[in-house]
Amino acid sequence: MTAIVSSEKLCSGCDVVKNLTEFHKNGAGRARLCKPCVSALNKRRRDKRITEHGIDAERERQRTVNARSRENPEVYARHQAATLANNLALRRLRENHREEYEHMVREERYAAGLPI
Ligand SMILES: [Zn+2]
């Protein structure tokens, strides 16, 4: 018997049918949420942790995550590659939206009470 393999999947976060490439791999299958929904969920969780425990506690938590990652060379290499990819994407985004970026930097500096 031949299994029918769909190349699409319904995201249980946004209820949109998307291509499988829009879902992270999860063992032999795919994640329940699409990549943008996972990203939004992670951001909400991070914001909640910062609200409840403060930015210093969040930085300490991140240091612990990083230290644990360094203990496993495969995980560490993957995290390093992901960080590099994120930074390169951010750089391109910044270059493609220079004016908006500089405006946002001024807003954040103003909000932090820094000289503009
Ligand atoms: Zn989704």
pLDDT tens for each residue of 11-25: 999 999 999 999 999
What's the pLDDT score for residue 3?
A: 64
Q: What are the residues whose beta carbons fall under 8 Å from the beta carbon of 34, sequence distance 6 or more?
A: 11, 13, 14, 16, 18, 22, 23
Please list the residues that pair with 18 across neighbouring strands: 9
On whether both 23 and 65 belong to a single domain, the answer is yes
Query: 77: domain range?
Result: 73-116
Residue 2 belongs to a domain? no
On whether both 21 and 39 belong to a single domain, the answer is yes
Work out how many domains the chain is built from and give that number. 2
Quote the DSSP letter at residue 28: T
Report CA(37)–ligand 1 centroid distance (Å).
4
> What is the reported pTM?
0.63
Report CA(115)–ligand 1 centroid distance (Å).
40
Burial letters 11-46, b for 16+ CB under 10 A, else e: beeeeeebeeebbeeeeeebbebbeebbeeeeeeee
Residues in the chain predicted with pLDDT less than 70, given as ranges, are 1-4
On whether both 51 and 81 belong to a single domain, the answer is no
Residue 60 belongs to a domain? yes
Residue 63 belongs to a domain? yes
On whether both 110 and 62 belong to a single domain, the answer is no
On whether both 102 and 62 belong to a single domain, the answer is no
Residue 37 belongs to a domain? yes
Residue 83 belongs to a domain? yes
On whether both 96 and 63 belong to a single domain, the answer is no
Report CA(39)–ligand 1 centroid distance (Å).
9
Both tokens of 14, joined, read: 């946004």
What's the pLDDT score for residue 12?
A: 97
Report CA(64)–ligand 1 centroid distance (Å).
29
What's the pLDDT score for residue 45?
A: 97
On whether both 115 and 79 belong to a single domain, the answer is yes
What's the pLDDT score for residue 1?
A: 57
Residue 99 belongs to a domain? yes
